[in-house]
Amino acid sequence: MDFSSIQAAAQALAQANRVVISTGAGMSADSGIPTYRDRNGRWRDFLPFSQVGLTPSDFAHPPGYRERPQHAWAFAEYLRRSMAQAPVHQGYDVLTEWMLRRIPQSFLLTTNIDDLHRRADVPETQFYERYGNLWELQCLERCTPHWWRENRVELCTLDTSTMEASNFPQCPFCQGLARPRIQMAYDEEFVEKEAGWKFYQNFLASGPVDVYLIIGTTLWMTWPEGQEPNTIIHINPDPNTHAHYQSPIAVTMGAKDALVGIDWAWRQMRKG
Ligand SMILES: [Zn+2]
């Protein structure tokens, strides 16, 4: 347990008025969701597909949905089914609780598409999913700027021996092929959720941020001129990643244990 940095993080959060939080793959790793893609949005090889000679980066993009929808949708369907099984770990509940009650002036950005923050009831107006959400669909040809939520697990038929899907979902507006509303490689048609982006811009415009809390992500933030937060808390089990930031409060732990630990330390302070 990284006790002194846990204490320092709790202290900084207890004194903060306005906080921005970023989460990435390191947050959902503790729910058993592995890192599926690199910083350029390309999907890495992984077992169920490589076993049948397929590489997700060959088809997990809009051209792939046009040319090989059976494989593109098989990949999305596979991810949806695995993510639906993933438990929401306690670190998610801790963040939601902070945002609702202890630091209501906070905003959460995530690069994750797995829906776990939503399942932990994060407040909608304080939340922006930078790369979309696998549980939201849009038209492949973008016949409309609308997107829609699709909660069904087993959305497509999936043959796991060939990793081919069939019975793909359709766009309700043009009856063409639907796709997940996630930012993919070579993706010009991604439907941005404008409300989320506006919530974030409004939050930044309404005052300086005291603390920037970064959890398991390499997302690079740019701040309005002169508004860089004074304090950065960086949670990552890999000690080499702390050097990306200038003198952060560095918590060298996994997301779940770090958040639960900080929450505990914060509660002790309030008792004292
Ligand atoms: Zn359409």
What's the pLDDT score for residue 40? 57
Nearest to 250 by CA among 268, 265, 227, 231: 231
State in Å: Cα 196 to ligand 1 middle: 23
Amino acid 38: pLDDT:
61
pLDDT, tens digit (0-9, with 9 covering 90-100), for 78-133: 999 999 999 999 999 999 999 999 999 999 999 999 999 999 999 999 999 999 99
Overall number of domains in the chain: 1
Q: What confidence tier does 270 reach under pLDDT thresholds 50, 70, 90?
A: confident
Ligand 1 geometric centre to CA of 185 (Å): 20
The rounded Å distance from CA 177 to ligand 1 centre is 7
Domain holding 134, by residue range, is 3-271
| Ligand 1: centre distance to CA 21 (Å) | 34
Ligand 1 centre distance from Cα of residue 94 (Å): 39
Q: 223 to each of 104, 200, 208, 212, how far by Cα in Å? A: 20, 12, 10, 11
Arithmetic mean of pLDDT over the chain:
92
**CATH, residue 229:** 3.40.50.1220
Q: How confident is the model at residue 37 (pLDDT cuts 50, 70, 90)?
A: low
- Rounded distance from Cα 114 to ligand 1 centre (Å): 24
pLDDT of residue 50: 85
How many A from CA of 170 to the centre of ligand 1? 8
pLDDT tens per residue across span 153-206: 999 999 999 999 999 999 999 999 999 999 998 899 999 998 999 999 999 999
What's the 178 CA to ligand 1 centre distance in angstroms? Answer: 7
